[in-house]
Amino acid sequence: MDAKTKTIEDIARRLLGIETLETRSSDAFDFYDLAIWSIRKALEAAHDAGGPARPERTAR
C-alpha cells in the first residue's frame, strides 16, 4: 500500500468512522450518513496531508 492510500484510509477511519474504503456490495456497508462537520474535518486533514496546491483548471 502506498503512502497516499494509507493516508486517505487513515483519515476515513479516524475522522469519518469508515472501516474500509473497499466496495463491499452492500448498501449497509457502502453508504454512510455523515455530519457536515465530519466531512469538513476530513477534507481539511486531506488538504493538510497533501503537497503544494495544484493550479486550478480553467474552463474551456
| Per-residue model confidence as pLDDT tens digits over 44-57 | 999 999 866 666 66
The parent domain of residue 25 ranges over 3-49
Report yes or no on 20 lying in a domain: yes
User: What's the rounded Cα separation, in Å, for the pair 46 and 10?
Assistant: 10
Q: What pLDDT does 15 receive?
A: 96
Report yes or no on 58 lying in a domain: no
pTM of the model: 0.75
Number of domains observed in the structure of the chain: 1
Helix axes 36-49, 3-16, angle to 10 degrees: 150
3-state secondary structure of 8: helix
More confident residue, 7 or 57: 7
Q: What pLDDT does 4 receive?
A: 92
Report yes or no on 57 lying in a domain: no
Report yes or no on 60 lying in a domain: no
3-state secondary structure of 52: coil
Asked if 16 and 42 touch (Cβ cutoff 8 Å), the reply is yes
Report yes or no on 29 lying in a domain: yes
Report yes or no on 16 lying in a domain: yes
Asked if pLDDT for residue 17 goes beyond 70, the answer is: yes
Mean pLDDT of the residues in the chain? 90
